[in-house]
Structure 1
Amino acid sequence: MIELIRTNDPVVISFVESLLRDAGIAFFVADQNMSIMEGSLGILPRRVMIDEDDRDAARQLLKDAGIEHEARSDDKKNA
């Protein structure tokens, strides 16, 4: 899996989850439990992970929704 986005913003996470779900793209939100453990202060970012084969389609979804700036650039190391 590769990291599509990393953010502290729960609204962005929710929006991206909705976009991916509606497009039928499987995803996993990593570090969600760590955010709860820290008291939901928003210090630790959550990551939306997708299959590498879905990278282009997912990035196009973000672009079409006007939030392509949220996507991790390809030159950043993906977890």
Structure 2
Amino acid sequence: MIEILRTNDAVALSLAEALLQSAGIDCFVADRHMSAVEGSIGAFQRRLLVDRDVEIKARRTLTEGGLGPYLRESPV
């Protein structure tokens, strides 16, 4: 899996998950519980991961949904 988004913004993360799910793209939110444990001081951001084979589709979906500024740079 590859990280395509990292944020402390719970609303943006929720929107990203919904957009990907509606496009049929499986995703995983890493560090969801760690960021809750640390008290929301922003030390640990949540990371959104997708399979490498759907990375381009996922990035396009999130960009079209208005989340382009939240995307991590592609390693390719």
What is the TM-score of this pair, normalised by structure 2?
Answer: 0.90
Kept in 2, the 8 Å contact 1:8–1:43? The answer is no
Find the residue that maps to 1:19 and give its secondary structure: helix
Aligned equivalents of 2:35 and 2:19: distance in 1?
Answer: 22
What is the TM-score of this pair, normalised by structure 1?
Answer: 0.87
Match of 2:57 in 1: 57
Q: CA RMSD in A?
A: 1.5
Match of 1:36 in 2: 36
Unaligned runs of 5+ in 1: none
Find the residue that maps to 1:66 and give its secondary structure: coil
2:72 aligned partner, one-letter code: R
Aligned length: 76
Kept in 1, the 8 Å contact 2:20–2:26? The answer is yes
Find the residue that maps to 1:60 and give its secondary structure: helix
Find the residue that maps to 1:29 and give its secondary structure: strand
Identical aligned pairs, as a percentage?
Answer: 45
1:20 aligned partner, one-letter code: L
Match of 1:15 in 2: 15
